[in-house]
């Protein structure tokens, strides 16, 4: 069974640009969540999508947005990049059938804003 796939693995952008990250969940998983990891801050929740609908949203500015497609694949977009957006962005998928809550993470996309 293939795991969670995130593309690209690494990305360098300049301030003011926008970026789109992609996540393909484990087959059959309908929930996709996005997290930002920065040094000293742990993993901070960005948003969660389930059946193409944003179900939960973290405390991030509107420059951070996402969407989910009918095949459960998800994209995350960050507009008007700032230096502080440099981080590891992690995507996690889960079954969400009420019997288990373990989220399975991809390897992440390392975004560097210069």
* Cβ atoms within 10 Å, residue 79: 14
Residue of 24, 29, 106, 113 interacting with another protein (CB under 8 A): 106
Task: Give residues with Cβ within 8 angstroms of 109, minimum separation 6.
Answer: 6, 7, 8, 9, 10, 11, 21, 88, 89
Task: CB nearer to another protein: give 78 or 90.
Answer: 90
> Taking CB under 8 A as the criterion, which residues in 55-94 touch another protein?
56, 58, 90, 92
Residue of 78, 103, 111, 113 interacting with another protein (CB under 8 A): 103
> Taking CB under 8 A as the criterion, which residues in 34-53 touch another protein?
35, 40-45, 48
Question: Which string of DSSP letters, residue by residue, matches 10-54?
Answer: EEEE-TT--EEEEEEPPTT--EEEEEEEETTTEEEEEEEEETTEE
**33 is an interface residue for another protein by CB under 8 A:** yes
Interacting residues toward another protein by CB under 8 A: 4, 6, 33, 35, 40-45, 48, 56, 58, 90, 92, 96, 98, 100-108, 110
């Amino acid at each position: 069974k293939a795991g969670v796939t995130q593309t690209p693995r690494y990305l360098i952008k300049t301030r003011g640009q926008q970026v789109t990250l992609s996540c393909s969940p484990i087959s059959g998983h309908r929930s996709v969540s996005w997290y930002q990891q920065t040094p000293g801050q742990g993993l901070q929740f960005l948003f969660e999508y389930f059946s193409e609908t944003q179900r939960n949203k973290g405390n991030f500015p509107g420059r951070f947005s996402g969407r989910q497609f009918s095949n459960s694949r998800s994209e995350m977009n960050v507009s008007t990049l700032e230096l502080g957006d440099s981080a590891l962005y992690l995507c996690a998928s889960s079954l969400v059938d009420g019997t288990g809550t373990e989220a399975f993470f991809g390897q992440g996309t390392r975004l560097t804003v210069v």
